[in-house]
């Protein structure tokens, strides 16, 4: 089995351009040499008997792929550290993955100020001391023989319903195989240029963009951070032919001002998730570029490939071992039924969890046996993602199976946000859950039992140092009491099913805004429903609440008026 270290080493001696970033260009040989120098430095810096784990807290600069290559050559692993995390949660990610070295840049140093990181050494890349540290290793040559296919290469975080994110393991063999598979699927070769504008701490950019570039011998063009206005100029400037995306990024690009020459670009294909049929068609009409929707469980336990003939909105046909199951009965869900407009009409029965009942390459989580067992329960791989299947066997993504949220491509854990919101002095109880976004992924909604002051709540959120940039609720439902089940647990399924269309008052504001919340009116609700309908996602907010349980929200709210300060 091939290793990523071997793919990195094959760039040695190749003087063709291989990496572009802003005004800087590196040859493929320089990329291999830079990785080799950092691998040699890493071997000297890592304490003996320590796990060879390196935290990388960087934007998409050349240092990111150079350190990925260095880790591969050294038989080490990179933990991608998410810069939208804050405070103790950020420290926890670094300490949980047992990183003895964190590679960062000056722009991110404020995130680390005041954190307790015992035994962790910082390497700040855009400084003179870093350059002096690297200088003695400038003549290092890549030696792929130190690595094996079984070596851990990535520890990338996925979120879970029980709180802290889990660090999924990806070995060199699996990443090299994924790169080879995607390079073959899209006929990628050494003359292609891969545009990486999605953040490299995500599996999307590394597994679906960087790895196939290595496997194909292609060049890589980096964008420090995604920019909708900079997308097309970058593509033209670097001659990019392939890119990966998430649905929200596609929406942002489509929102830019159209130009007559939009189709004058070198792109051949985009590969990603959650763009939706409407936006994918609009993107192809405007830019002449086909978007291929795919699905791959972050942990590698299940994948669905698009193929010619896949219906609009589907991600592909169910392969061997894949099934949509009712998680309670473990029985297969019936095929989806659609009305004349193509809308799902039996979602309550057809939507279930995607399960891989066959062999799969899931390699586990770092130091989290409980989460690992949950994924592998009954000998099958449970993806935690909801799907439905049509009569022809094509699969359609329908959301998340547990208390996870995916906001602007960021996976968040409801429990983490709840712990922060629970500090609000007016709250006697808090529940956080996902409601579908009209375009892609989720939005954050919270139900708060107790007193609520819309202006004071916004000020409270702004003052929380560990509230990540994607965590603030879009919608806040204010209830007299928290609805509970017969076992006295919060009735989350009912809250999710009702969403913002409920009997209680709901307050809302624009995503990312710091303005006070305002009351959601009937007119606002009608306008929101129209947005879902226009994107073919209306069925996601038409779910009926589960069968009534003791203390359910529909029963308990009658005749009650929540308090608002």
- DSSP assignments along 41-73, one per residue: HHHHHSPTTS--EEEEE--SSTHHHHHHHHHHH
Domain shared by 409 and 519, yes or no: yes
Domain shared by 122 and 9, yes or no: yes
Domain shared by 159 and 120, yes or no: yes
Name the band, by pLDDT with cuts 50, 70 and 90, for residue 551. very low
State the burial class of residue 130 (Cβ atoms within 10 Å of its Cβ: 0-12, 13-18, 19+). middle
User: Domain for residue 326, yes or no?
Assistant: yes
- Its domain, for residue 81, covers 4-172
Domain shared by 470 and 512, yes or no: yes
Name the band, by pLDDT with cuts 50, 70 and 90, for residue 220. very high
- Rounded to an integer, the average pLDDT of 476-490 is 75
Token match 């023989």: residue? 145
Taking Cα atoms as reference points, which of 212, 211, 206, 195 lies closest to residue 156?
A: 206
- Rounded to an integer, the average pLDDT of 342-367 is 88
User: Domain for residue 272, yes or no?
Assistant: no
User: Domain for residue 214, yes or no?
Assistant: no
CATH, residue 150: 3.40.50.12780
CATH, residue 331: 2.30.38.10
What pLDDT score was predicted for residue 555? 26
Residue 34 confidence (pLDDT) above 80: yes
* Predicted confidence (pLDDT) per residue in 287-341, tens digit: 999 999 888 887 999 999 888 888 888 889 999 999 999 988 999 999 999 877 6
User: Domain for residue 187, yes or no?
Assistant: no
Domain shared by 356 and 501, yes or no: no
Domain shared by 418 and 391, yes or no: no
- Rounded to an integer, the average pLDDT of 463-484 is 88
Collapsing DSSP to helix, strand or coil, 340 comes out as coil
* Predicted confidence (pLDDT) per residue in 167-200, tens digit: 999 999 999 999 999 999 999 999 999 999 999 9
Name which residue leads in pLDDT, 202 or 364.
Answer: 364
Note the pTM of the prediction, 2 decimals.
0.78
What pLDDT score was predicted for residue 428? 83
User: Domain for residue 46, yes or no?
Assistant: yes
What pLDDT score was predicted for residue 159? 53
Domain shared by 415 and 493, yes or no: yes
CATH, residue 429: 3.30.300.30
What pLDDT score was predicted for residue 402? 65
DSSP string over 94-137: HHHTT-SEEEE-GGGHHHHTT---TTPEEEETTSHHHHHHHGGG
Domain shared by 358 and 447, yes or no: no
* Predicted confidence (pLDDT) per residue in 377-414, tens digit: 999 999 988 889 999 999 998 766 666 678 887 767 67
Q: Which two tokens stand for residue 484?
A: 């509970």
Query: What share of the chain has pLDDT > 70, as a percent?
Result: 92
Domain shared by 45 and 82, yes or no: yes
Domain shared by 532 and 421, yes or no: yes
* Predicted confidence (pLDDT) per residue in 95-137, tens digit: 999 999 999 999 999 999 999 999 999 999 999 999 999 999 9
What pLDDT score was predicted for residue 251? 81
- Rounded to an integer, the average pLDDT of 29-49 is 96
Dist. CA 539–CA 16, nearest whole Å: 50
Name which residue leads in pLDDT, 505 or 552.
Answer: 505
Per-residue burial over 526-557, b if 16 or more Cβ lie within 10 Å, else e, is eebbeebeebbbbbbbbbebeeebebbbeebb
User: Domain for residue 393, yes or no?
Assistant: yes
Output the CA torsion sign for 470, 474, 475, 478: positive
End-of-domain residue from the set 356, 384, 400:
400
* Domains held by the chain: number: 3
What pLDDT score was predicted for residue 537? 86
Name the band, by pLDDT with cuts 50, 70 and 90, for residue 487. very low
- Rounded to an integer, the average pLDDT of 354-379 is 94
End-of-domain residue from the set 400, 416, 438:
400
Domain shared by 392 and 430, yes or no: no
Are 509 and 476 spatial neighbours (Cβ–Cβ below 8 Å)? Answer: no
Domain shared by 14 and 84, yes or no: yes
End-of-domain residue from the set 378, 400, 422:
400
What pLDDT score was predicted for residue 543? 53
Residue 466 confidence (pLDDT) above 50: yes
What pLDDT score was predicted for residue 41? 98
Taking Cα atoms as reference points, which of 37, 72, 26 lies closest to residue 221?
A: 26
* Predicted confidence (pLDDT) per residue in 126-169, tens digit: 999 999 999 999 999 999 999 999 999 999 987 543 456 799 99
User: Domain for residue 225, yes or no?
Assistant: no
- Rounded to an integer, the average pLDDT of 373-377 is 94
- How does the average pLDDT of the chain come out, rounded? 89
User: Domain for residue 50, yes or no?
Assistant: yes
What pLDDT score was predicted for residue 276? 73
Collapsing DSSP to helix, strand or coil, 542 comes out as coil
Taking Cα atoms as reference points, which of 441, 432, 556, 551 lies closest to residue 496?
A: 432
């Amino acid at each position: 089995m091939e290793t990523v270290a071997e793919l990195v080493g094959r760039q040695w001696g190749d003087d063709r351009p291989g990496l572009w970033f802003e005004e800087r260009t590196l040859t493929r040989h320089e990329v291999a040499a830079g990785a080799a120098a950092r691998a040699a430095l890493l071997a000297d810096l890592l304490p003996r008997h320590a796990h060879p784990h390196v935290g990388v807290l960087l934007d998409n600069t050349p240092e990111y792929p150079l350190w990925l290559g260095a880790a591969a050559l050294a038989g080490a692993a990179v933990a991608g550290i998410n810069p939208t995390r804050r405070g103790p949660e950020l420290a926890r990610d670094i300490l949980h993955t047992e990183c003895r070295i964190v590679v960062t840049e000056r722009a991110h140093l404020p995130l680390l100020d005041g954190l307790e990181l015992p035994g962790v050494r910082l390497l700040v890349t855009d400084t003179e001391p870093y350059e002096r540290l690297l200088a003695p290793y400038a003549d290092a040559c890549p030696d792929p023989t130190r690595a094996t296919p079984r070596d851990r290469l990535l520890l990338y975080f996925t979120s879970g319903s029980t709180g802290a994110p889990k660090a999924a393991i990806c070995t060199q063999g699996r990443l090299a195989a994924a790169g080879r598979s995607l390079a073959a699927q899209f006929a990628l070769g050494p003359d292609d240029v891969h545009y990486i504008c999605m953040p490299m701490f995500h599996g999307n950019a590394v597994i679906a963009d960087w790895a196939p570039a290595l496997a194909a011998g292609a060049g890589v063009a980096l964008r420090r951070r995604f920019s909708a206005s900079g997308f097309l100029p970058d593509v033209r400037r670097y001659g990019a032919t392939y890119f990966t995306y998430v649905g929200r990024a596609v929406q942002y690009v489509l929102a830019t001002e159209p130009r007559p020459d939009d189709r004058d670009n070198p792109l051949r294909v985009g590969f990603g998730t959650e763009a939706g049929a409407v936006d994918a068609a609009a993107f192809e009409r405007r830019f002449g570029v086909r978007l291929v929707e795919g699905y791959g469980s972050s942990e590698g336990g299940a994948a669905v490939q698009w193929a010619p003939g896949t219906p609009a909105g589907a991600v592909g046909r169910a392969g061997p071992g894949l099934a949509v199951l009712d998680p309670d009965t473990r029985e297969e869900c019936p095929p989806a039924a659609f009305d004349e407009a193509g809308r799902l009409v039996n979602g309550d029965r057809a939507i279930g969890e995607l399960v891989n009942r066959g062999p799969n390459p899931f390699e586990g989580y770092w130091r989290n046996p409980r989460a690992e067992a949950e994924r592998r329960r009954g000998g099958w791989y449970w993806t935690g993602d909801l799907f439905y299947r049509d009569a022809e066997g094509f699969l359609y993504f329908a959301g998340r199976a547990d208390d996870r949220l995916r906001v602007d491509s960021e996976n968040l854990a409801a429990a983490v946000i709840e712990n922060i919101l629970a500090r609000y002095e007016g709250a006697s109880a808090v529940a956080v859950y996902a409601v579908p976004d009209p375009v892609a992924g989720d939005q954050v909604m919270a139900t708060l039992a107790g007193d609520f002051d819309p202006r004071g709540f916004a000020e409270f959120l702004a003052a929380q140092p560990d509230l990540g940039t994607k965590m603030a609720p879009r919608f806040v439902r204010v209830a007299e009491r928290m609805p509970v089940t017969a076992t006295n647990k919060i009735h989350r399924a009912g809250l999710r099913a009702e969403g913002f269309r409920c009997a209680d008052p709901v307050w809302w504001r624009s995503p990312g805004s710091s303005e006070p919340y305002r009351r959601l009116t009937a007119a606002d609700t009608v306008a929101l429903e129209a947005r879902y309908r226009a994107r073919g996602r209306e069925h996601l907010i038409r779910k009926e609440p589960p069968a009534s349980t003791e203390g359910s929200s529909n029963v308990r709210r009658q005749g009650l008026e929540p308090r608002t300060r």
